[in-house]
Amino acid sequence: MIDGFRVTDLHVHVHPGSMVNAVAREMMESGRDGEAMRRFAESPAAFLGWLDDCGVERAAIVNYVAPEVMGYPPEINDWCARYCAQAPDRLIAIGSVNPLHAEDPAAETERVLDLGIRILKVHPPHQLFDVNAYRTGRPGAAIGEVFGVAERRRVPVMIHTGTSVFPGARNVHADPMPIDDVAVDFPALPLIVAHAGRPLYGDTAFFLARRHRQIWMDLSGIPPKRLLDALPRLGEIADRCLWGSDWPGPGVPDLRKNVEDFLALPISSPAKADILHVNAERLLGALRR
């Protein structure tokens, strides 16, 4: 706990360096603690010890298939599931099915969920398609098959929103608005809008969260001290906002400091508790078998 608040961090990046291309790895490690990143990838126990030091109860380990931009191959799902299986009560596996790299996207979705992946991730700027491509027939159209399986199995889908600076990323796919189609077409599918559209699309992300009760907002990647600048009406959707750090992203050297900065904001204690832990408990409680 941190200052009396339980914390679930739903957006942390841990991955083996061998599954990242050299350019992306250099960018991720530049100015950051690369040694810690490597140590945590090799040892779930070391990572859990760090969570203890930071006062964080649980963390979601985010991975996704994006060979063109990041280098992540389909095997990243198997690695992530094995990693989180070392402490399933504290580590939540997030993986993905990239329809551009799956012969049978529906079958692959079933397979990765059976591995223990508990949330699916879509990263449009890095995976190079729009989330509503199933409506347009453009590249990535088979993502609709992935959504269909996820909806049937009641597995949330986390969708990256906002721009990316990694070489090769296509920011034409960064706008959250196509998620509106997904929410309409898959009404029983829980959707997590990652990063709340930062830095360009906060108003759009807020609109989506207000319109669709199935949408949750992941606050990761926004400096906590600037959170109310990005989302001035945060209190109106606090019951569906999820805490995330985006470690080891820029400006996130320490998970505890991130939470402490958030706790200093002028919002109510019940709203803080909801965002830091209670909402994640509500969302993840539906996934328990």
- Domain with residues 8-285, CATH architecture: Alpha-Beta Barrel (3.20)
> Residue ranges of the chain with pLDDT lower than 70?
286-289
Per-residue confidence (pLDDT) for residue 74, from 0 to 100: 97
Q: In what order do the strands lie in the sheet with 215-218?
A: 8-12, 58-62, 91-95, 119-122, 157-160, 191-194, 215-218, 241-242
Is 232:206 a contact under the CB 8 Å cutoff? no
How many Å apart are CA 170 and CA 231, to the nearest integer? 25
pTM: 0.95
Per-residue confidence (pLDDT) for residue 244, from 0 to 100: 97
Is 117:81 a contact under the CB 8 Å cutoff? yes
At 165-180, the pLDDT tens digits run 999 999 999 999 999 9
Per-residue confidence (pLDDT) for residue 240, from 0 to 100: 96
**The pair of three-digit structure tokens given for residue 223, joined into one six-digit string:** 């400096």
Per-residue confidence (pLDDT) for residue 287, from 0 to 100: 47
Per-residue confidence (pLDDT) for residue 252, from 0 to 100: 82
Is 206:223 a contact under the CB 8 Å cutoff? no
Per-residue confidence (pLDDT) for residue 28, from 0 to 100: 86
How many Å apart are CA 187 and CA 183, to the nearest integer? 5
Is 220:241 a contact under the CB 8 Å cutoff? no
Per-residue confidence (pLDDT) for residue 267, from 0 to 100: 95
**The pair of three-digit structure tokens given for residue 128, joined into one six-digit string:** 């190079």
Strands 119-122 and 191-194: unpaired
Per-residue confidence (pLDDT) for residue 85, from 0 to 100: 97
Per-residue confidence (pLDDT) for residue 204, from 0 to 100: 97
